[in-house]
Amino acid sequence: MTDTVISLLVRNLHGVFGEADDVRRGALAGELFTEDALFVKPAGITCGRAAIAGKILATHPSFAYAELAPAENLHGLAGRLRWTSGEPGRPPSYAGTDIIVVENSRIAALYLFFDPLP
């Protein structure tokens, strides 16, 4: 299960949040998230994997994500990943930490905390 949590975190960051193509992003969200997954962020709560995939990159379509540290697993039930994001080739615009709760090898909840830039 350790590999599952780590994989979910990394694939979510790059393949869902970092994917500009709506079809590919939606397909991967379908693989990674439970149908009724929650995405909790400072701006509010989004419910359901389709809604989560639809919200990504809406305000910053050209931003790319970079991992600040290796993803961490907590007993196969949860994990966290610290990252930065911004225009490719420029200093990061913001940083954050994703914390996930895993059920049946899928993301059931994703909690996003914004962090100070490193």
Query: What pLDDT, on the 0 to 100 scale, is given for residue 33?
Result: 96
pLDDT tens digits, 28-43 = 999 999 999 999 999 9
User: CA separation (Å) from 90 to 35, 42, 59, 86?
Assistant: 36, 25, 18, 7
In the chain, what is the straight-line distance between the N-terminal and C-terminal CA atoms, in Å? 30
Please tell me the distance from the alpha carbon of residue 16 to that of residue 23, in angstroms, as a whole number: 10
- Those residues of the chain that have pLDDT short of 50 are none
Query: What pLDDT, on the 0 to 100 scale, is given for residue 73?
Result: 96
Query: What pLDDT, on the 0 to 100 scale, is given for residue 63?
Result: 86
Query: What pLDDT, on the 0 to 100 scale, is given for residue 28?
Result: 93
Would strands 33-41 and 106-115 be described as parallel, antiparallel, or unpaired?
Answer: parallel
Please tell me the distance from the alpha carbon of residue 101 to that of residue 111, in angstroms, as a whole number: 9
Query: What pLDDT, on the 0 to 100 scale, is given for residue 53?
Result: 85
